[in-house]
């Protein structure tokens, strides 16, 4: 393990993002914060730092407990951080909400057809 790892590499190695470019884009858009402050992709990560990570589908509050710049299996990547109890509860609640309430447009890929548009309009008017 290295002591000197960029935050974008660490996020990729810890499997929060599929590619480093996605991690860089998230950092640039302010969706990854350390202690509530925006950061830059080249910033080095340190043990004990608290991160807020939003990858678009989930949000995490984690504490850095390991540093690596190599992407490995998910169980090994899981040892690089500890997630807070509040973060686990929030993600579970959001997961349950998504399971119970199905978004009307979630199945539509690309531009909606006339039939899809009618179904969406009907669902919107029922609410």
pLDDT 10s digits, 12-66: 999 999 999 999 999 999 999 998 899 999 999 999 999 999 988 889 999 999 9
pLDDT at 47: 93
For residues 103 and 120, the answer to whether their CB atoms sit within 8 Å is no
pLDDT at 124: 85
For residues 67 and 12, the answer to whether their CB atoms sit within 8 Å is no
Please tell me the pTM assigned to this model. 0.76
For residues 12 and 71, the answer to whether their CB atoms sit within 8 Å is yes
Taken in order of first residue, the domains within the chain and their CATH numbers are: 7-126 (3.10.290.10)
The Cα–Cα gap between 112 and 119 comes to 10
């Amino acid at each position: 393990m290295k002591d000197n790892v960029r935050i974008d590499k660490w996020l990729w190695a810890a499997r929060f993002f599929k590619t480093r470019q996605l991690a860089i884009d998230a950092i640039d858009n302010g969706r990854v914060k350390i202690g509530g402050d925006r950061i830059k992709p080249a910033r080095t990560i340190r043990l004990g730092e608290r991160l807020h990570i939003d990858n678009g589908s989930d949000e995490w509050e984690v504490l850095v407990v390991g540093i690596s710049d190599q992407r490995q299996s998910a169980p090994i990547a899981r040892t690089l951080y500890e997630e807070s109890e509040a973060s686990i509860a929030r993600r579970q609640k959001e997961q349950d909400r998504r399971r119970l309430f199905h978004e009307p447009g979630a199945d539509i890929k690309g531009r909606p057809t006339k039939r899809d548009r009618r179904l969406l309009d009907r669902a919107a008017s029922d609410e």
